Chain A
């Protein structure tokens, strides 16, 4: 007889539900869990012809190389720095835009701006690279053509590393602001009209109403989104960086992130051991970071904890 409440009992009783869950379980097994075995590559000198556990074991050599050459430090700082800028700026601007849109009276204008601001989210990153080329290419880009018309010196954007720091942030915002704005807009729609009516009766003007009602009411959404994005702070926006910068070595110092380095090691320089090591570092560092942040949040306010 089957023991009640045991796993086997559940398996038989809810066999249909287990069956329905199976495809997803297999998907994550193949896509995420089995590849974790390959972490071992990070500790070997990679050879494509031998199987995983026959590769020569070299311990922490790959990590040591990455650390000594200063690559790891640069990649970590770039990845963290860009992501922090993305998270902070996109949330702040999204809140501002959402507040502005929510206070509009013209319904058609409201709908229209929402649609227009959301449009870039739908465009592929390859198209974005075409746009950036169109704007900044040295010979005939829009920027230089305009500068020329104003009798000013042309700018060689593709050979000026520092320009890419703000540029990448701007294009990230261009692509993602519409999306974040909609989430905040949804939160604003949920705020009860009564607060605003009461404030109006008390003679509060619109700035005061926004500052003392809307902004505090968005705090929860803001914190939830912030913590959610902190979870992926070590994961770079690979598509964005790779399509804008590509294999343009001149710009690496300012624009190389962990994801682009791993991809290049895999597809261009074929340095698999090094690539795995950098990937593992990214994963482990990110994991440790999330755990720490989550632990601290738990101490401060349990409601906001991720898990």
Chain B
């Protein structure tokens, strides 16, 4: 085979595989979107399909029939996401900045102090007991925000970022100009590291938004459920209602469009992420490209 024809073969193969791969990635989303727009009865009779057999908005209507709870969960998630991301960014950038300063003598000791936590830990239970029994954080915003503030991975990512974005000479010259270490951070490092800050910030925000684990461990008060955990509960209660109906012969399920509501709820919860995705994903790509490879 000549070089050009093998090249053509390769490209055809590449396009085919990538198109199939992309479809496989999108397919589950389409399925959920379709189900959320289908009449509940049609789902129960005919099952889930890629194209709604009987179109209806009853799922969405059901989600917003008692909007208090959903909006409440939205509020809790938004508050924790915004505060957690901003506070986390502030601490992560400061830490990354100090740990990459070559004239900071103990930077390796402190780097190891942070890195060691990824190697060994006390496990889930001692941590849980500390936070609930000794710090009394059950049902507080603190417990939804504090544990997610930073990870060693994000600190290392930020450190590498600052190192590649800010030349060492800049620290020297700023010092000669009389700037103290915090002013250097605030005036020099932060403006130069904006792409890195965007990436780390998005990682933090995504983790806060998608979190259900902290709610499931520490929140008993329904009014403080985060969005994902609220969804998780709705799904389980609905399955319970359906099973009850099936077990007793009484059809509880017909009053409440359980199946389509679940799917509609899933989309309402994911909404902001899908809407923001096209705008933010390039920051992830950029950040990973610079930060992670140099590791």
Contacts and interface: CB of A to CB of B under 8 A. Distances in A.
B122 A279 contact: yes
B171 to A, nearest CB: 11
Contacts of A113: 18-19, 21-22
Interface stretch (B27-35, B61-69, B78-86, B162-170): B27-35
A75 interface: no
A25 B113 contact: yes
A279 B130 CA distance: 15
B97 interface: yes
Contacts of A186: 288-289, 292-293
Given A32-B121, A228-B295, A105 B11 contact: yes
Given A23-B94, A130-B32, A38 B277 contact: no
Q: Is the interface of B mostly helix, strand, loop or mixed?
A: helix
A129 B149 CA distance: 26
Contacts of B256: none
A36 B228 CA distance: 30
A224 B110 contact: no
Interface stretch (A63-71, A120-128, A161-169): A120-128
Q: Is the interface of A mostly helix, strand, loop or mixed?
A: helix
A100 interface: yes
A269 interface: no
B123 A280 contact: yes
A103 B10 CA distance: 9
Contacts of A179: 288
B98 A279 contact: no
Interface string B205-221: 01001111100110000
B24 interface: yes
Interface residues of B, number: 100
Nearest to B231: A126
Contacts of A239: 212-213
A202 B253 CA distance: 70
A226 B293 CA distance: 13
A263 B104 contact: no
B161 to A, nearest CB: 14
A20 B98 contact: yes
Interface string A105-122: 100010011111111101
A207 B128 CA distance: 53
Nearest to B185: A20
A10 B125 CA distance: 37
Nearest to B18: A113
B172 interface: no
Most buried by A among B95, B122, B270, B284: B122
A140 B48 contact: yes
Interface in B1-53: 1, 3, 6-7, 10-11, 13-15, 17-19, 21-22, 24-26, 28-29, 31-32, 35, 43-44, 46-50
B115 interface: yes
A92 to B, nearest CB: 14
A305 B7 CA distance: 39
Given A17-B104, A36-B126, A117-B21, A24 B14 contact: no
Nearest to B103: A14
Contacts of B209: 124
A279 B119 contact: no
Contact of B130 (A38, A105, A280): A38
11 contacts: A31-B146, A103-B10, A125-B210, A134-B32, A139-B44, A144-B47, A145-B47, A204-B3, A243-B232, A262-B125, A272-B129
Given A24-B114, A126-B210, 19 more contacts: A20-B95, A24-B94, A27-B146, A31-B127, A35-B127, A37-B122, A39-B122, A41-B129, A48-B133, A103-B14, A104-B14, A113-B22, A125-B212, A127-B269, A142-B48, A145-B47, A206-B3, A206-B6, A279-B124
Interface of B: 1, 3, 6-7, 10-11, 13-15, 17-19, 21-22, 24-26, 28-29, 31-32, 35, 43-44, 46-50, 91-92, 94-95, 97-99, 101, 104-106, 110, 112-115, 117-130, 133, 135, 146-147, 149-150, 155, 180-182, 185, 206, 209-213, 216-217, 228-229, 231-232, 235, 259, 262-263, 266, 269-270, 273, 277-278, 281, 284-285, 288-289, 292-293, 295
Nearest 3 CB-CB pairings of A with B = A38-B126, A279-B123, A145-B47
